[in-house]
């Protein structure tokens, strides 16, 4: 009688928020399925610096890397075997020795509008308060409704919904992807992509590993990839990287699936929403990584040139 071999455990690093845990457990289930039960995921949670900052903008304390710093360090030390992130929170350049291993299928990339008083931004009364800590969302809001007041609004989904119920703002935004994964999509009204372009890579989960990952684990990670999502991620992050994108500039980007082609639309806003620089371009689906990256770089070059060669950057007076 052959002795049954215990499954190999892969330690999955993640933030401890309800949404992050859902995403990490999705990856754990996918690992077990892809390996035929030969591997299983063990969830290891971390509280990141970004999680601890609930009342101020991320840019005041270092930007989007605040949601990954502790996870990055744990992966580099070997305390975990992989990390799972909402890709829009991941800096444009990974830590040395780390690479993306998988991009599972993208969830709804649209923004969700939440308000107890209205179903859209245009329905809000003059001077209403919109809560957000995102410069992109702030600039986009000001572009549509310059009469509205912007108030800083941070925290996870439950925290933001509570703040809204307490009357700290009349409306806010949440990514439809997160709401859908939490089975709370009914609380928001999706905003069409042609009305509000999302952050680059919104709705995509990124799985990161060390670049010395063994062949067996690497094969399982590759099985988690959804090819169209991977291609969209490469295009959108290339655009962001070419603009040196961070939380300090209002940047939006999305790769639209046209069937046989990708169409990238990229935008940069003035801080006060009074100006927008945008461009779009296409490339074939199934193109090489270099060709996908080239699309993002080219659209970034056009946008930057349209903005006069210098992008608007958040400063303390804002």
Q: How confident is the model over 37-63, as pLDDT tens digits?
A: 999 999 999 986 655 555 555 554 455
Which pLDDT band holds residue 3 (cuts at 50, 70, 90)?
low
Report yes or no: 182 and 118 within 8 Å, Cβ to Cβ: no
Q: How confident is the model over 152-187, as pLDDT tens digits?
A: 987 888 888 999 999 999 999 999 999 999 999 999
Verify whether residue 89 is a known catalytic residue: yes
Q: Which one from 72, 81, 89, 108 is the annotated catalytic residue?
A: 89
Distance CA 66, CA 53 (A): 9
Report yes or no: 204 and 103 within 8 Å, Cβ to Cβ: yes
Domains of the chain: residue spans and CATH: 1-105+204-225 (3.40.190.10), 111-191 (3.40.190.10), 227-309 (3.30.160.40)
- pTM confidence score: 0.91
Averaged pLDDT, 288-303: 97
Averaged pLDDT, 73-81: 96
**129 strand-pairing partners:** 149
Phi, psi of 83 (to 5 degrees): -125, 150
């Amino acid at each position: 009688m052959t002795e049954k071999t215990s499954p190999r455990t892969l330690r999955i690093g993640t933030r401890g928020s309800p949404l992050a845990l859902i995403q990490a457990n999705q990856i754990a289930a996918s690992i077990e399925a892809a390996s035929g039960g030969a591997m299983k995921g063990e969830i290891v949670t971390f509280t990141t610096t970004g999680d601890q900052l609930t009342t101020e903008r991320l840019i005041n304390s270092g930007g989007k890397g605040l949601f990954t710093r502790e996870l990055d360090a744990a992966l580099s030390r070997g305390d975990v075997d992989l990390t799972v992130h909402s890709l829009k929170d991941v800096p444009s350049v990974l830590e040395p020795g780390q690479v993306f291993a998988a991009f599972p299928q993208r969830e709804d990339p649209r923004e969700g509008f939440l308000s107890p008083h209205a179903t859209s931004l245009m329905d809000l009364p003059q001077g209403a308060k919109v809560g957000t800590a995102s410069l992109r969302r702030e600039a986009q809001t000001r572009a549509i409704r310059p009469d509205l007041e912007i108030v800083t609004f941070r925290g996870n989904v439950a925290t933001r919904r509570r703040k809204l119920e307490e009357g700290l703002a009349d409306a806010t935004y949440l990514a439809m992807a997160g709401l859908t994964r939490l089975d709370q999509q009914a609380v928001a009204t999706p905003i069409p992509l042609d009305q509000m372009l999302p952050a680059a890579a919104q709705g995509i989960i990124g799985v990161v590993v060390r670049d010395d990952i063994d062949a067996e684990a690497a094969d399982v990670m590759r099985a988690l990839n959804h090819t169209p999502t991977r291609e969209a991620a490469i295009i959108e992050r290339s655009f962001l990287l070419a603009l040196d994108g961070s939380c300090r500039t209002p940047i939006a980007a999305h790769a639209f699936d046209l069937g046989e082609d990708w169409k990238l639309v990229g935008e940069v806003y003035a801080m006060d929403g009074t100006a927008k620089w945008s461009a779009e371009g296409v490339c074939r689906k199934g193109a090489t990584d270099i060709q996908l990256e080239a699309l993002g770089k080219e659209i970034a070059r056009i946008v930057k040139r349209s903005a006069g060669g210098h992008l608007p950057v958040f400063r303390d007076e804002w």
